[in-house]
Amino acid sequence: KRGTLQRKVHADIDGKRTPWGKRGWKSFYTVLKGMLLFLLKDEYRADWQSPEEVISLHHALAEPANEYTKKQYVFRLQTADWRVFLFQAQTAEQMNSWINRVNLV
């Protein structure tokens, strides 16, 4: 699965609050391959082999970010090392599709 998502880092390893200055939203072209989520610079869609960041989905959990009300279609991804990311999709259908796909890993 792949597509453009906006990403906000909410918590770092062990759930520590991500500091000011690192909490902004950023657009990525996102590719899910196997148990890994590759975050690519949006402008280099094809180049998934040199990602900005790779997130392991092993023992990760995705769910709608119901507590986050500033934007629509946002889901929350918690990783095995207790990082928390928010991802904004473009439609509810896309959000649900990402959640289902991540949770199948």
Which residues of the shown chain bind ligand I3P in the complex (CB under 6 A)? Answer: 20-25, 70
Q: How far is the CB of 25 from ligand I3P (least distance, A)?
A: 5
The encoded tokens of residue 97 equal 């599709």
Residue pair 4/90 in contact (Cβ under 8 Å)? The answer is: yes
Q: How far is the CB of 65 from ligand I3P (least distance, A)?
A: 10
Name which of 2 and 26 has its Cβ closer to ligand I3P. Answer: 26
Q: Which residue is nearest to ligand I3P (CB)?
A: 24
The rounded distance, in Å, linking the Cα atoms of 50 and 44 is 9
- Sign of torsion over alpha carbons 9, 80, 69, 37: positive
Residue 103's SS3 state is: helix
Name which of 8 and 29 has its Cβ closer to ligand I3P. Answer: 8
Name which of 21 and 34 has its Cβ closer to ligand I3P. Answer: 21
